[in-house]
Amino acid sequence: MAAFGHLAVAFTAGRVIDRPRPLGWMALFSALSMLPDVDVIAFVFRVPYEHPLGHRGATHSIAFAVLCGVAALLVRRDRRLALFTTAVVLTHPLLDMLTDGGLGCALFWPISNERLFWPVQPLPVAPIGHGMFSRRGLYVVIVEVLAFLPLVVFAFWPRRSARS
Ligand SMILES: [Zn+2]
């Protein structure tokens, strides 16, 4: 999946957490929403795609999302932030599972390395690396923008300021 869908979820989480300076929270959640794709470094080290440490493996699991939430709890001692962290990281594989290509996500790693998709995959899979700068990459971005635009509009819709 290209980044737009993941970022749309992050922006929405930043709006929903309802704290001062939502742009800072949106930036933090944006980084967290993309964190599972740190596993693309596996391609550099020639780790096979289907390996548990390959792309869409361990970092695309429920366990990884919970681990990130626990890390947030230990660092900030804030249960709400830990919950949002877990949810934002977990949305990444759940959205990737809606794409129509590559391998699915190892959602239940380390119990199982089976790669899973949802029963329907309406989103086109993004080409990896330089492939994004192609007609296929442009098509993927357009589909994601159309699919996730409502979340972005919600996230950035102006708020009424509270009267004192
Ligand atoms: Zn991913």
What is the domain range of residue 23?
A: 3-156
Distance 112 CA to ligand 1 centre (A): 18
Distance 81 CA to ligand 1 centre (A): 22
Q: Is-contact 52 39, C-beta < 8 A?
A: no
Question: Is 33 within a domain?
Answer: yes
Q: What residues have CB less than 8 Å from 82, skipping those under 6 apart?
A: 69, 70, 72, 73, 76
* Number of structural domains the chain divides into: 1
Question: Is 162 within a domain?
Answer: no
Question: Is 163 within a domain?
Answer: no
Distance 23 CA to ligand 1 centre (A): 23
Q: Is-contact 56 105, C-beta < 8 A?
A: yes
Question: Is 28 within a domain?
Answer: yes
User: pLDDT 10s digit of each residue in the chain, 164 long?
Assistant: 778 999 999 999 999 997 778 899 999 999 999 999 999 998 889 999 999 999 999 999 999 999 999 999 999 999 999 999 999 999 999 999 999 988 999 999 999 999 999 999 999 998 877 878 899 999 999 999 999 999 999 999 987 765 54
Distance 160 CA to ligand 1 centre (A): 36
Distance 36 CA to ligand 1 centre (A): 6
Question: Is 161 within a domain?
Answer: no
Return the pLDDT at 19: 74
